[in-house]
Structure 1
């Protein structure tokens, strides 16, 4: 619950956060008269700003807060300039793992600050503010049917929710799913990682298949890799996940693509029952703690999923079968995991490397020299490791 005072009365409402952000301990009312500098100061102090003005002005204020959060401080005077230069040099010379953790801390602080601008949502999922849009469909997709309970939501998180709704409607074009004449769009649901990094999909689309009768897709997410395997002619694909949103998303995409006869989506922690001549997994590529549900597609605390896949793979491989591990080496360039450690896990699981196919990522950050992690991102490669039992 969050609490505030309005018209001399104590009020409260449930706090809703998909990112598991803590509710602001102090909340004040805010409207169109609030100056951006004042709003930013309050937000940095951890004060929630419950909006009572024009909705579109709230969006403008959020943009102003973003500009202030992203603005680099100006050094004043020669001494300050030298100190800033020294700090910059220290940051540049920091070991990659330190730079990564500092970057995550900065991101978390930025998210907390920008998350202080709050918007009330009524029990019927309408927004009772001037010029507020009707986003009930987007709310229903993310939260389920309206239950008559009002709540308060961060405007930044709300905009992310609506952005996910638009991605779901539009879909993501996946050329590896076939010709333009056939359905080849994946529609990611809210909270399910979108397959915007096409290089790992291309690796699965091009690697030589060891067999076509059956494949397991472990941690299917949107179902994109299961769909690619089915389009490549694998007769039956069992796709697993344990997240309810991912399961619903994968089933929806399999149905849209007309692949329901080939692809079965089942709830499981990693492997389904039985063995298959091909077992595919694209685990999160960075060891670390996820701060929201969607970050579980990127961060794998203690490399749990990666190690679980490797340790259980041999038991689920049919004779002469292959396991395909699709993994970025960004963690290696950041000093979070070594190649030797990965290979030790492979050998310790009774597996050997048959072959490895590699591709350079094409995402925008890999070419952004201003990114704090540019050195690691520019060296990153995504690999498909073909593994077999010893």
Structure 2
């Protein structure tokens, strides 16, 4: 399920009554090893753990596994308490959605750093040497690849993420437009938002019917599979992530589409021209903090602009480019509609048609979400683009 293994390039060290100890450090996204670590067990209260983690101290758990999970949940509740409950003033950003967005994102990053400080030891073979620890070998091998030959430490949150991803991979995600399930791999964004798939399913294909299509940033391969189901003779699906390419390959084989879809490791475009080019780039400009974040955040709108700037030279005569994009960035004040239209015009493109759909994910209806106003106004659109002004 995974062909990407985090490297053990650092160590953590801690002291106890028996002396000084160390373990290799393994984490995704090249997260550096914590420099201050202490041992912790079932005697540590959640409040004490929160204080230590807030001060930059990581905790290597040596107690009961299920108690570690309960502690992580208790820490999570403490990190999500509102500023007013902690006696801090709320930022005066009620009329500034961009400031509110950046504040919320910073809070999420701080929460992730704090919760990532609760660590577990792991033996070769992904054996967790704690009381009541489950067998996590299959989930870890699927997420991280083969086990190292020496003991190591990793964040409990990361282990739980691998376990959750493994269960999700086994169950799959139902995609009504496909009439089938897509099985996402660890670190590959799952097609849990139906609107962008539904837009692709109902948009009229260019005339004459496309014989070759490009799917840029294929991820799980869901859009490539849908294009094949719609009758496109041949699709070239690209992605830079080895995990995504492995995930797409598995899904396309399971769906019986592999013979019609060629997978290509590329940053956006493969060589040549196509009758149809489809791109569903990350919808928010910003730096990605993880592999999953990369499906949401696009630094300086690099992928969006790269798709637009390269489209005309990769289209056959009478071909179209389909940009599937949420307008959430517009409602958050991170990008304007005028800016997007300007990029389209600067790339020598014209808008042939635009179809949009309301979001159906739960957060759009969550009035307690700090970004509720923007999420409630959000629309996802399919822009049909062609060369010419």
Q: Which residue of 2 aligns with 1:284?
A: 282
Mapping of residues 223-242 of structure 1, within 5 Å: 223-242=221-240
Q: Which residue of 2 aligns with 1:33?
A: 43
1:124–1:149 CA contact under 8 A, matched in 2:
no
Matched, 1:265 2:263: yes
2:84–2:90 CA contact under 8 A, matched in 1:
no
Of residues 208, 220, 223, the one that matches 1:222 is 220
Report the Cα distance in structure 2 between the residues aligned to 1:99 and 1:58, rounded to whole angstroms.
33
Q: Which residue of 1 aligns with 2:187?
A: 191
The 1:214/1:73 distance shift into structure 2, 3 A limit, reads: closer
Report the Cα distance in structure 2 between the residues aligned to 1:74 and 1:320, rounded to whole angstroms.
58
Q: Give CA-to-partner distance per residue, 1:1-56, whole Å, 9 cap, x none.
A: 21111443222122222144332221111111111111111111111110111101
Count of residues in Structure 1 that have an aligned counterpart in Structure 2? 376
Mapping of residues 1-390 of structure 1, within 5 Å: 1-72=11-82, 87-88=89-90, 90-93=92-95, 95-178=96-179, 184-210=180-206, 211-390=209-388
Report the Cα distance in structure 1 between the residues aligned to 2:371 and 2:57, rounded to whole angstroms.
31
Q: Give CA-to-partner distance per residue, 1:265-320, whole Å, 9 cap, x none.
A: 11111111111110000000000000112111000001110000000000110100
C-alpha displacement of 1:73: 5.8
Q: Secondary structure at the match of 1:176?
A: coil
Q: Secondary structure at the match of 2:350?
A: strand
Q: Which residue of 1 aligns with 2:5?
A: none
2:188–2:244 CA contact under 8 A, matched in 1:
yes
Report the Cα distance in structure 1 between the residues aligned to 2:116 and 2:338, rounded to whole angstroms.
40
Q: Which residue of 2 aligns with 1:181?
A: none
2:83–2:90 CA contact under 8 A, matched in 1:
no
- TM-score normalised by the chain length of structure 1: 0.94
C-alpha displacement of 1:229: 0.6
Report the Cα distance in structure 2 between the residues aligned to 1:292 and 1:144, rounded to whole angstroms.
18
Q: Give CA-to-partner distance per residue, 1:128-165, whole Å, 9 cap, x none.
A: 11110011111111111123132211111211111111
- TM-score normalised by the chain length of structure 2: 0.94
2:275–2:318 CA contact under 8 A, matched in 1:
yes
2:218–2:238 CA contact under 8 A, matched in 1:
yes
C-alpha displacement of 1:91: 3.6
Q: Secondary structure at the match of 2:297?
A: coil
Q: Secondary structure at the match of 1:261?
A: helix
Q: Give CA-to-partner distance per residue, 1:184-208, whole Å, 9 cap, x none.
A: 1100000000000010000000000
Q: Which residue of 1 aligns with 2:4?
A: none
Q: Give CA-to-partner distance per residue, 1:341-361, whole Å, 9 cap, x none.
A: 111111111100000000011
Q: Secondary structure at the match of 2:276?
A: strand
Task: Extract structure 1 runs of 4+ deviating beyond 6 A.
Answer: none
